[in-house]
Amino acid sequence: MKNNRKKSEKSNYIIGLAGNPNVGKSTVFNALTGLRQHTGNWPGKTVTNARGTYCYQENNYLLVDIPGTYSLVAHSEEEEVAREFIESGNYHALIVVCDATSLQRNLNLVFQILEITRRVVVCVNLMDEAKRKHIMVDLGELSHLLGVPVVATSANREEGLLELMKTVSQTVTTTNPDEVIQANSQKSAEELVKKAREIANKVTTYPKIRHNQKEEKLDRILTNKWTGIPIMLCLLATIFWLTLVGANYPSQLLSTWFYRLEECLRSTALWLNCPATICDFLFGGVLRTVGQIVSVMLPPMAIFFILFTLLEDLGYLPRVAFNLDQVFQKCHACGKQALTMCMGFGCNAVGVTGARIIDSKRERLLAILTNSLVPCNGKFPTLLAIISVFFAQNKPSYIGALLLTGLVLLGIVMTFLVSWVLSKTLLRGESSFFILELPPYRKPMVGKIIVRSFIDRTLFVLGRAVTVAVPAGAILWMLSNIFINDHSLLYYLGSLLNPVGILLGLDGFILIAFILGLPANEIVLPIILMAYTGMGSLTEAESFASLQEILVQNGWTNLTAVCTLLFSMFHWPCATTLLTVKKETGSLKWTFLTALIPTMIGIVLCISVKFLFLIL
């Protein structure tokens, strides 16, 4: 496709992109707008939208990617936003994206939109996939029956997009911009479904052998009640193993780079006669904290989000929701919570935001309140380090991955348990039913996955973490460098909390590390080492052997390691997640409960394990 994008300050035409989920609507949007995109919230809504610009024949088009919806009868906030946009008429044309392999299902929405406006161009996407499955669509006949233009595209290959925008250009210049928007559909839902089926059968030719036989066989394995969950757990363990093993080398490189940057900036500042104390504060405090978070957080998060997005593009994640739906139903929660839980493995803040896909407010709150019960990416370094030092040292790498998977399973079980308890107490109610579409398996576009996951997810989360890391670094430096009677403030705080820490099977310095690690979980272990060694800034052990030596010298036993693992799994979420909960719920009450619930679980588990150890 020729590049028709160019810089523009004003768009002459507003074009909405509508369609069912999983039809490639966002792929069409991304292919057209490229990097000329921005996101924001709909007025009065928490639902985000994407907007981008495209230039065709010196006319500027503002493309608005509205939320995917199956129907204009809204059941969720996203569907309500889509309906309001379509009914508003505040656009010059609508591109309604359809899946060439599932035309009947998509035409239902097309007819609903045509009952409201005729300023429509139907984009039949995924034509390459239809060709691969030997499905033929008579586009000319479809256009004749619908009474609006129809254009074929393969957006992932950028095929047909120029023809699409040419047709859009003709539509906005030939249709009446002052047409009257009809408030209500003239046909019943049943009539529209029947009409969609009739037209789809007229224009679509399927091969004699069913085109989805292979997918059906695969689904019988991946969604089977006996094999589905074991396969899911194996994939989860594999993802953790790849994430943890693959992140080691880039983490070391980033750590080395930040160390050299710190030394370079410190030397330059001293050469410019900057006071040594100010240099220590800026570079040994603030910069080192930021560098620690970036070097530890970025590589595993980038790898995890790439793998997560890969499963998403393959079409596997909806199968995860299907496999866990029955369990969540028994907990009086929504099966979609399985997807938000999976998002939480990368970042709990992303999982909280992802809860928008759940229609019911009660079930959405269940997903938000329990999302931090699964470990996020920031907890993995601490969990892996303790597992490696005390339980998997000198053993194959998969042992650590299996033990970590066991902790994750504990988090999942706690998610089920807490969801059930909340649904019987604070959030009483029956679970709702939802339509879960199992999209076809598709070959992922690896290059686009890497770019999209890194920009949309990794950098977004990392940016929030760095924002809170700067003041955290300043506070940590002051606590460790302000002395009273030969002891730092950090020492006094750790000593003050020592009785509580001992009760939990920890010590005061471990507990204060979790408190000061509120901005980002990645700095918990470095704070522990900083407190033990008396260093004035965050520090890392050179190896697992040296880490074990420092911890054992400061009284760590297997009991301490187990309790630290449990408290690392279950304690208050990071500041980024809490701020996201406040933004999503608009309530300090739910934000407080989001922090209280996992903390109480961690306290109970630690005390129970300690007394069990004492009894045994």
Is 60 exceeded by the pLDDT of residue 1? no
Shared domain for 464 and 325, answered yes or no, is yes
Q: Of 159, 182, 211, which residue sits at a domain end?
A: 211
Count the neighbouring beta carbons within 10 Å of the beta carbon of residue 385. 18
Shared domain for 333 and 253, answered yes or no, is yes
Shared domain for 402 and 496, answered yes or no, is yes
Q: Of 148, 179, 211, which residue sits at a domain end?
A: 211
Shared domain for 236 and 207, answered yes or no, is no
Percent of the chain clearing pLDDT 90 (strictly above): 28
Mean pLDDT of the 516-523 span:
84
Highest mean pLDDT pick, 58-62, 78-82, 323-327, 605-609? 605-609
pLDDT at 206: 80
Mean pLDDT of the 422-443 span:
75
Is residue 322, in this structure, part of any structural domain at all?
A: yes
Query: What is the spatial distance between Cα 152 and Cα 229, in angstroms, rounded to a whole number?
Result: 38
Is residue 220, in this structure, part of any structural domain at all?
A: no
Is 80 exceeded by the pLDDT of residue 462? no
Beta-bridged to residue 56, according to DSSP, are 59
Shared domain for 275 and 132, answered yes or no, is no
Q: Of 211, 237, 269, which residue sits at a domain end?
A: 211
Q: Give all strands (DSSP E) within 76-162, no chain letters.
A: 93-99, 120-125, 136-137, 150-152
Shared domain for 104 and 248, answered yes or no, is no
Shared domain for 571 and 481, answered yes or no, is yes
Mean pLDDT of the 351-360 span:
83
pLDDT (tens digit, 9 = 90+) per residue, 90-139?
Answer: 899 999 999 998 888 889 899 999 988 889 999 999 898 888 888 899 99
Q: Please tell me the total count of domains within the chain.
A: 2
Shared domain for 409 and 267, answered yes or no, is yes
pLDDT (tens digit, 9 = 90+) per residue, 179-192?
Answer: 544 444 456 687 87
Domain span including residue 276: 228-434+446-615
Structure tokens at 291: 């560098």
Mean pLDDT of the 399-414 span:
86
What is the domain-level CATH number for residue 200?
3.40.50.300
Count the neighbouring beta carbons within 10 Å of the beta carbon of residue 38. 10
Structure tokens at 347: 């970042």
Is 70 exceeded by the pLDDT of residue 2? no
Is residue 221, in this structure, part of any structural domain at all?
A: no
Count the neighbouring beta carbons within 10 Å of the beta carbon of residue 113. 23
Is residue 216, in this structure, part of any structural domain at all?
A: no
The answer to whether residues 422 and 414 touch, using CB atoms and an 8 Å cutoff, is: no
Query: What is the spatial distance between Cα 42 and Cα 31, in angstroms, rounded to a whole number?
Result: 23
Of 437, 384, 592, 371, the residue nearest 19 (C-alpha): 437
Beta-bridged to residue 151, according to DSSP, are 123
Structure tokens at 469: 């890391």
Question: pLDDT category, 211, cuts 50, 70, 90?
Answer: low
Q: Where are the alpha helices (DSSP H) in 96-138?
A: 103-114, 127-132
Is residue 223, in this structure, part of any structural domain at all?
A: no
Shared domain for 191 and 325, answered yes or no, is no
Is residue 104, in this structure, part of any structural domain at all?
A: yes
pLDDT at 39: 46
Shared domain for 496 and 569, answered yes or no, is yes
Shared domain for 238 and 205, answered yes or no, is no
Is residue 222, in this structure, part of any structural domain at all?
A: no
Is residue 2, in this structure, part of any structural domain at all?
A: no
Count the neighbouring beta carbons within 10 Å of the beta carbon of residue 268. 12
Shared domain for 383 and 416, answered yes or no, is yes
The answer to whether residues 167 and 152 touch, using CB atoms and an 8 Å cutoff, is: no
Query: What is the spatial distance between Cα 238 and Cα 428, in angstroms, rounded to a whole number?
Result: 37
Mean pLDDT of the 273-298 span:
84
Question: pLDDT category, 48, cuts 50, 70, 90?
Answer: low
Mean pLDDT of the 430-442 span:
67
